[in-house]
Chain A
Amino acid sequence: MLKIDFIAPYPENNSIPIKAEISSGKITVLYGPSGCGKTSILRCLAALINPLSGSIEMESKVWFNSANNKKTTAQMRKTAFVFQDLALFPNLTVEGNLKAANPAISNEELQQIILDFSLAGLNHRKPATLSGGEKQRLALARSLAMNSSLILLDEPFASLDIGLKYQMYHYVKQLAEVHRKHVILVSHDVHEVIQIADAIIAWTENEFIVSDEVSSTLQRVLGNELWKKLSGQSAKIKL
């Protein structure tokens, strides 16, 4: 269980309070319009920035607590962060990228991940030579190779076409359901939320609300009329 209760910093002296309990084996989508501070929250979780105050507790380990000045670094937390631009290491091959994420990974584990994410045959290729979908799969595979129980996805599928998006949803589902990871996906795309979310943290009226009821929360956030239109266009597909 990931317990968060903190105030994230935001440019121009704003701050974003958030309180949630996030379970493993589920995909929790952090939903809100661009610029509401979703990425700042993710960066706080990875210790790339520090919250202004509050606490973060991961599986009973305190990662951050402003009350007793407890802070852990990004290197200590080792959260698997999939960035918007994927942040694949250009100088390393597919295999090199996976090994860099976890130098202690066994060859068997490595080969299994390569198979699971359909990267077989690409082992010795560098990221610049991969297609968009292959790069996305490598980024997700790398997050699994890290062996972290928290996977943070910062809108990595925003630039993909719809077909590739559905492929990626399948892999993200695997991370949560098969590998029992805590998966948090940042998104501003309602259709994506409908397809993939098991739980939602949604931005509405200047605060984040947390719920396992994805549809009703979206309805509340979007308003009845818009919800009817959008949910009608996006029937949930079995991934």
Chain B
Amino acid sequence: MENIDWRPLQLSLELALSSSIILLLLCVPIVFFIHKQRGFFRTLSESLIMIPLVLPPTVIGFYLLLFFAPDSSIGHFLSLLNIQLLFSFEGLIVASVIYSLPFMTQPLLSGLDSLSPSISEAAYTMGYSKWGTFVKFILPNIKPALLSGMVLSFAHTMGEFGVVLMIGGNIPGETRVASLAIWDEVEQLQYGTAHVYSALLFGISFGIIFLSLLLNRSRIKSKVL
């Protein structure tokens, strides 16, 4: 245990936490906008944000690699701003946000869809603005969906492999997250270390999901009592 490098686990936790927080801030307005749409546009936007669910991670990783390359227009623009996304932790965050997008948007969208539109309309007739309605009556009523989104995107980011390998490049101490470290250790036949990483990832992922289910259950209880 003394020889185990804990940095990959620390990086995984930092990556999962920062990606889930960014996803939460980013997805609430996006999902609220999509929720208000009807017909073709809604189907189109839902399909777009769900792509990472079905696309092989290597495909996303490959295109992000092209986008962030210094000779691409985006990469060139970012280099002018002194931002280097390829083979950096910041690049991993951007990739994780894109890759875990549906894990945040889907629970939020279900939560919003399950709320009756008359809740907002009742608030408008009481004099509340759209923003006031959102903060006072919409957000508090989709708390379980917000929690599910956070938990799912956190757990999903913890287990990322393909995208982080292609964008991060497996640099020790920088982009070598726990899932990549397991792969390295197995390749070097260091099964003991691989076991430690794997068991810890399993424990953390199980613990987070178990806790969120417990929280949701106590919320349902408090609704009834």
Contacts and interface: CB of A to CB of B under 8 A. Distances in A.
Interface residues of B, number: 19
Interface string A41-84: 00000101000000000000000000000000111111111011
Contacts of A180: none
Interface string A109-144: 000000000000000001011000000000000000
A85 interface: yes
A74 B125 CA distance: 5
Contacts of B140: 91
Interface in B107-130: 116, 118-119, 121-129
Contacts, number: 61
A77 B125 contact: yes
Contact of A83 (B121, B141, B224, B225): B121
Nearest to B133: A75
A89 B223 contact: no
Given A48-B121, A81-B121, A81-B122, A91 B141 contact: yes
A83 B122 contact: yes
Contact of B137 (A76, A81, A84, A91): A91
Given A87-B116, A89-B119, 4 more contacts: A75-B127, A78-B125, A87-B118, A102-B126
Interface of A: 46, 48, 73-81, 83-85, 87, 89-91, 100-102, 126, 128-129, 146
Sort A-B residue pairs by CB-CB distance and give the 6 closest, nearest first.
A87-B118, A87-B122, A91-B140, A83-B118, A74-B124, A81-B125
